[in-house]
Amino acid sequence: MTETNEQDMDRADRAPGQTEASGRRYILSAHAFSAPPLEPALYIVSTPIGNLGDITIRALETLAGASLIACEDTRVTGTLVQRFGLKAPLMPYHEHNADKQRPKILDLLSRGEPVALVSDAGTPLISDPGYRLVRDVVEAGHKVIPIPGASALLAGLVGAGLPSDTVLFAGFLPQKGGPKTARLKELGNIPATLVFYESPRRVGATLATMAEVLGGGREAAVARELTKRFETFERGTLESLAETFSGDAPKGEIVILIGPPGEQAPADAADAEVLLRLALETMPVSAAAKSVAKETGLDRNELYKQALEIKAGAESGT
C-alpha cells in the first residue's frame, strides 16, 4: 500500500472499463492509498453489516481497482463508496434486473476487466443476489474471486454459544403458517445448529412456531443488531425466547439460532396431540399419523385413531 496523502473525496462518474491508475485508490482517515491492479475476474466482495470498521483492506483495494461495482442499491453502496473515496462506477444488480444486467457483466469480463459484486450489507449470495451470476461467470470460463468479510450468519453463530461444528444456514423461513411449519419440520431433526434470518416484525411469532414445532426446550439464541451500537444476544430455550419476544416488535436486524436436537424425552400423548394438530393443517389423516409416528416413534394405528378424533372434534367445533 502506498500512502499518497490525497484528501479529495470526490467520485468520478467514469464509464465501466475506464479505470486509470490514478483512480485505483481508496481513502482511510483522510489518507489516500493506491491499490494494486486487479487481475480480470468477478470479485465477490463482503461489506460491513453495520460497523464500517469491518470493511477489510482487501475489500477496499478490490473496490478501488474494479472497473465496475455491481450492487443491489446504488444509494446504499454510494454511501460506502463516498465514505472511502472510491471512484469505480456503480451498476444496480438486483433480483428484478439481474437477467438484463448479467450479459453486461459477462461482456466486461470477456474484455479483461475486473468487476466487483457487493450487496447492501454483508456477504453477497448469503440471502442476497449473486448465485446465478457466479454460475454464469464460471460457465463462461471466467475467474470468480471471493473477498470474505462480514456476514450476520457467522457473527451470530460465533456469539450465540451454540455448537458450531455442524451448522445449517436456512435463510428466511416462508412467511405463511403452513409452509413455515412444514419447513421447520423438515429441518427439525437435522443434527446441526440451525441459523435463520428473520424480520423484527415476525420474530415473536416465528419463535412461538419454532417452540411449538421443534419443542419448547430446545436451546436457542437471538442475535440483534450485530456489530452495531445496540448489539444484543438473548440466549435461552425456544419457549423462553418466544416469551421474551412476545411483545412489541424489537428494533433492528435479527438472526435466530437453534441448537441441534438433544436427547429428547420420549413423546407422550400430549406431545403427539400437538404434533397431530399441526400435521393435520397441511395433510390428510393417514399422512399426518404416519408423519407423527416417524417423528415420535409412537404407534401409527393409535395415532391414526387420535387424528380421526381430532379431525371429528374440529369439524363439530369442539
Interface contacts to ligand SAM, rule CB under 6 A: 49-50, 119, 121-123, 126-128, 151-153, 197-199, 223, 225-228, 253-255
Alpha helices, DSSP H, located in the chain? 57-65, 74-83, 98-110, 131-139, 152-160, 177-188, 203-214, 238-244, 269-282, 285-296, 300-316
C-beta of 183: minimal distance to ligand SAM in Å?
16
**Whole-number Å distance between alpha carbons of 161 and 277:** 33
CA distances from 254 to 86, 213, 232 (A): 30, 20, 10
Residue number with CB closer to ligand SAM (198 or 219): 198
Strand partners, 115: 42, 68
C-beta of 224: minimal distance to ligand SAM in Å?
6
Residue number with CB closer to ligand SAM (96 or 265): 96
Residue number with CB closer to ligand SAM (1 or 144): 144
Residue number with CB closer to ligand SAM (182 or 226): 226
Residue number with CB closer to ligand SAM (59 or 278): 59
C-beta of 173: minimal distance to ligand SAM in Å?
11
Of 160, 153, 163, which Cα lies nearest the Cα of 262? 163
C-beta of 76: minimal distance to ligand SAM in Å?
12
**Whole-number Å distance between alpha carbons of 209 and 248:** 17
Q: Are 181 and 283 in contact (CB under 8 A)?
A: no
Residue number with CB closer to ligand SAM (126 or 310): 126
Q: Are 39 and 30 in contact (CB under 8 A)?
A: no
Residue number with CB closer to ligand SAM (121 or 213): 121
Residue number with CB closer to ligand SAM (27 or 153): 153
Which residues, in sequence order, are CB contacts of 196 under 8 Å at separation 6+?
170, 171, 172, 173, 206, 255, 256, 257, 258
Judged on CB neighbours under 10 Å (0-12, 13-18, 19+), 76 is: middle
C-beta of 4: minimal distance to ligand SAM in Å?
32
C-beta of 8: minimal distance to ligand SAM in Å?
31
**Whole-number Å distance between alpha carbons of 196 and 231:** 17
Phi, psi dihedrals of residue 94, rounded to the nearest 5° = -145, 180
- DSSP state for residue 248 in the 8-state scheme: S
C-beta of 131: minimal distance to ligand SAM in Å?
12
Q: Are 6 and 25 in contact (CB under 8 A)?
A: yes
C-beta of 56: minimal distance to ligand SAM in Å?
14
Q: Which residue is nearest to ligand SAM (CB)?
A: 122
